[in-house]
Amino acid sequence: MRLTIHDNPPVSAQMEIDLGKLYGHLPADLQAPFWFIATFNDRHIAALRLDGDRIVNLGVRSETRRRGVGKYLLQKALERARELGLTEVRALASDYPVENRAMVGDFLLAQGFAAVDDNQWRIAL
């Protein structure tokens, strides 16, 4: 099987299990629009949501990090943001647990985001 990015997939029992493991809890907004979910071998291994002009709930299973999954997932979300007419997208450190903020920031910087301050990263589209 190959990596697939799903745009607003229907919520399934397996998705709930996999995302519960990914986040440590099941996100309450799974029915909200603009979820992007990466699957490999029918398992949900990464996800993020475009909430207005913000990237939220960015997460990649630790077993699959550093393999391009997050990059591919983010690219798909940024493509959608362009289609929606957004001119920039941002991410807030405060949307992530303290222990993950540095990792999220490093990832976003590597993907072309710029640090605005200690709490925010932005990318022009």
What span, in angstroms and rounded, lies between the C-alpha atoms of 51 and 39?
21
The pLDDT mean for the chain works out to: 92
pLDDT digits (tens, 9 = 90+) for 93-112: 999 989 889 999 999 999 99
pLDDT digits (tens, 9 = 90+) for 52-67: 999 999 999 877 777 7
Domain map (residue ranges) of the chain: 4-124
Tokens of 18: 């996999």
Say which CATH class 4-124 falls into: alpha beta
The yes-or-no verdict on residue 30 having pLDDT over 70 is: yes
Distance of CA 59 to the CA centre of its chain: 6
Secondary structure class of 61 (helix, strand, coil): coil
**b vs e for 76-95, b when ≥16 Cβ sit within 10 Å of the residue's Cβ?**
bbbebbeeeebeebbbebeb
What is this structure's pTM?
A: 0.89
What span, in angstroms and rounded, lies between the C-alpha atoms of 38 and 4?
6
